[in-house]
Structure 1
Amino acid sequence: MDMINLTIDGIPVKVKKGATVMEAAKSIGIDIPALCYLKGVNEVGACRICVVEVEKARSLQASCVLPAAEGMVVYTESPAVVEARKEILRLILDNHPNDCLTCDKAGECKLQEYAYRYDVKFRDHNGARRVATIDTSNPYILRDNSKCILCGRCVSTCSQVQERSVLSFGERGFETHIIADNDKILGESSCVSCGRCISVCPVGALIDNRIAGKARAWEAEKEEVRCTQCDHGCHFELLRKNGNVIGVRAKEPGEGRPLCLKGRLSVDLTYNDNPAVPLMKKEESYVEVSWAEALGLEKIMEKL
């Protein structure tokens, strides 16, 4: 198999041909920040926070989509790279609410992590801000577009499942925002509440509505379990606080993995110490249903 030799931050690296600079850096323990990148799901080099400096290159390069090349010399934390990352973070924070103290994503937010890493703070300005809207129409997904950084992860992961593609980019320029179907609220859209978008969102723009407010990231113990509803065996996390399971959330999906609400509900019923009543959409609105109906057991029982 062809191998590539390059140097990253003075360290010789050997990787398989076709590997990206980000992957090469990761192989030697160097963490390059990324907001939009998600391997196998969203590899577009859009956020630019993963830029690196490459000798003889005319400009900084997005490491998540830059193929490693023989003899390449890369710097991941040069002064030019650090300043570029700081400026990107400043621009994102300029249009982001300063509510980290009460945000459910605190402690797991990539934007918070990188702002701390590069000592970037909120700044006062009189520039335009996107109008903040909070969509609570879906009982399973809370959407706050004031926190959205337009990374595109949710759009890409939603489009991976055949005949789903609920989320997409709407409008242009400064007015660009994530829309559901033809810019509907989530509760009125064709969203099936699978939770893929929540599991890949790097900030607090998409939150599991049923877990919101129950525990901060550092308060909850996490245990991985697998769904047994079908052969896919999707991965979920049990969140425990004070010894009790307070919620179940999906982990980041693999490429093309369907991840369904039925599986999520079954894991919730199996492990949650106080599972909430299941809700299903009927005639454009969500109504409480029995666990048998939510899990499709009624149809099975009819056949017996």
Structure 2
Amino acid sequence: MENMVNIKINGMPLSVPSSYTILEAAREAGIDIPTLCYLKGINEIGACRMCVVEVKGARSFVASCVYPVNEGMEVLTNTPAIQKSRKMTLEMLLSVHNRDCLACKRNGSCELQTLCNELGVEQSDRFDGAKPDVSKDESSLHLIRDNSKCILCRRCVAACSDQHVGVLGPNCRGFDTHIACAFEKPLNEVPCVSCGQCIVSCPTGALTERDQCDEVMAAINDPEKFVVVQTAPAIRATLGECFGLPVGTNVKGKMVAALRRLGFDKVFDTDFGADLTIMEEANELLERVKNGGPLPLITSCSPGWIKFCEYYYPELLQNVSSCKSPQQMTGAIIKTYYAEKNNIDPKKIVVVSVMPCTAKKFEARRDNQDAAGAGIPDTDIAITTRELARLIKMANINFERLPDEEFDPALGITTGAAAIFGATGGVMEAALRTAADTLEGKSLDSIEYKEVRGTEGIKEAVYHIGGMDVKVAAVSGLSNANEILSKVKNGEGGYHFIEIMCCPGGCVNGGGQPLQPAAVRSFTDLKAERAKALYEEDKNLPLRKSHESPIVKTLYEEYLENPGSHKAHKILHTTYVARKKF
């Protein structure tokens, strides 16, 4: 049991664990000390000086985010001197900050703006003077980096490093310090994997997704276009946060209703593509096990992880499933099977996907993603959860008052196996449900593989299926992926099947998900709360195995023949390329 210490905060006695910082102890007492640079477990550097407090006996203010508690400590968090210090810090930040807040996409969700409002700091010119030269990087497909809004908190640097990519860092020194890539290279010339974890870590508008809302509305308002939207499993568990609903609220019905009111011709569920992915991926696993193909088979649903593998582990690309992601499979079927059945020219179809992931913007432009041929992409526009919320607000749709509506039926019936794709371990569990039934030759009642559930970065298990032991691993976050891939590269582990998700916790914690301030990101398990909604949906659906989906069965009977067929490979599979890091 951890040792406890007795302290006082603002005269109130507390007993807290000895491992706590003053910031953590204050929070437990119901006092939120303001921060800007702090992200628990990722960026604990005490650099911004917003969290300073007075400690009796100390000669100066201390940074509460890194200062440990000790027996008998007395702390003051809100004296006039501290208020004055915090206000001055904000004024100095504003003196070199782009203050065009009305035009900023973070207006209303900017942590700097929030603190200025809370502490009564207006656009003071007390410290105005020289401004550093700043750059704007618009080179990548997924984000825009605007250093005129950067406060040098280094949260993006820490997030990028935590992802084992580390392409961002502080360049130069003193007044000229700025965040950039090595040698001032643009993002499209460094091994950035487009995961977007830097965006959700940024407290201001210095990093934003490349917004495609105007492209979506232009397509919807073009009478020559048939515009279809598809939404990823994780979106229903997170979109509500953009409208003030509690973390983990499932808003599937309202989301569908909102999409119809935006003017989309059809509203489809990417869960359909997830079920299809399982059919192909489970078949691929069984074929490799039976015929001695490269093992372990590694999942291919996360485009950020795929790009990471192409940069850092090209020798393992043979182990990666050739299956397209659910986004791309859904788009491919819409522009082939669905277009043929409904006599629609695929050139007139615009597929818009709503994804939790900024890397999906990159994936939509990858080579060999045109099942319909003639250079027609499977997915035309990929937008994030945040962009969808922006569209709904722009259209003055009252989200909270919307009725619950169902997806369009042509591709709308999905299974619980698809629903859990958004959580780490979900793809693994869904694939095992189908693979186990196939190997055992019967429908199994035990279908919850709980050993691969949870938010841990690496989860391992061995399942006895069809007379053999199958060793699996479910991994999320690229630092954890690097650890597992190093073992595979060295011939260790003995795995048969590995699921890798680029973002920690999986898609529910993707780089395109709703922004939450550090006070929430640091002390609320967003990954777990959001994942609960997906597992609850899985539990309550009548069909929980991908191969039981009537739409999937019909698709193979009428069009694809069987999983792994020549036609299925042509439409639903892809290729990868080794990339040079520099």
TM-score range, shorter chain: 0.7 to 0.9
| 2:209 counterpart residue number | 208
1:109 deviates by 0.8
3-state DSSP of counterpart to 1:25: helix
What are the equivalent positions in structure 2 for 1:28-177 lying under 5 Å apart? 28-124=29-125, 127-162=129-164, 164-177=165-178
Q: Which runs of 5+ in 2 are unaligned?
A: 217-238, 249-253, 263-301, 308-323, 331-350, 355-359, 372-377, 380-571, 577-582
Aligned residues: 267
Between 1:185-194 and 1:140-149, the stretch displaced more is 185-194
More helix by share: 2
**2:258 matches 1:243:** yes
Summarize deviations over 1:217-257 as a string: whole Å, max 9, x none. Answer: 999437878xxxxxxxxxxxxx96972399xxxxxxxxxxx
1:289 deviates by 5.8
Question: Which amino acid in 1 is paired with 2:259?
Answer: N
What TM-score, normalized by structure 2, do the two folds share? Answer: 0.41
| 2:574 counterpart residue number | 298
| 1:254 counterpart residue number | none
3-state DSSP of counterpart to 2:144: strand
Summarize deviations over 1:154-184 as a string: whole Å, max 9, x none. Answer: 111111233x111111000010001113211
Summarize deviations over 1:57-115 as a string: whole Å, max 9, x none. Answer: 11000000000111111111111111110000000000111111121111211100100
Larger-gyration structure (1/2): 2
Q: Distance in 2 between matches of 1:122 and 1:212?
A: 30
Summarize deviations over 1:105-135 as a string: whole Å, max 9, x none. Answer: 1121110010001111112365111223221
Q: Distance in 1 between matches of 2:84 and 2:196?
A: 35
3-state DSSP of counterpart to 2:102: coil
For the aligned residue pairs, the C-alpha RMSD in angstroms reads 3.7
Question: Which amino acid in 2 is paired with 1:53?
Answer: E
Q: Distance in 1 between matches of 2:155 and 2:8?
A: 30
Q: Distance in 1 between matches of 2:213 and 2:52?
A: 33
3-state DSSP of counterpart to 2:16: strand
Question: Which amino acid in 1 is paired with 2:32?
Answer: D
Question: Which amino acid in 1 is paired with 2:353?
Answer: P
1:274 deviates by 2.4
Q: Distance in 2 between matches of 1:6 and 1:129?
A: 43
Question: Which amino acid in 1 is paired with 2:99?
Answer: N
Question: Which amino acid in 2 is paired with 1:75?
Answer: L
Summarize deviations over 1:190-218 as a string: whole Å, max 9, x none. Answer: 2111111011001100001136789xx99
**2:263 matches 1:261:** no
| 2:445 counterpart residue number | none
More strand by share: 1
> Residues 181 and 40 from structure 1, CA distance in 2 versus in 1: closer, same or farther, beyond 3 angstroms?
same
Identity of aligned residues (%): 40
3-state DSSP of counterpart to 2:183: coil
Q: Distance in 1 between matches of 2:132 and 2:167?
A: 22
CA contact (8 A) 2:10 2:75 kept: yes
Question: Which amino acid in 2 is paired with 1:34?
Answer: T
Between 1:20-29 and 1:120-129, the stretch displaced more is 120-129
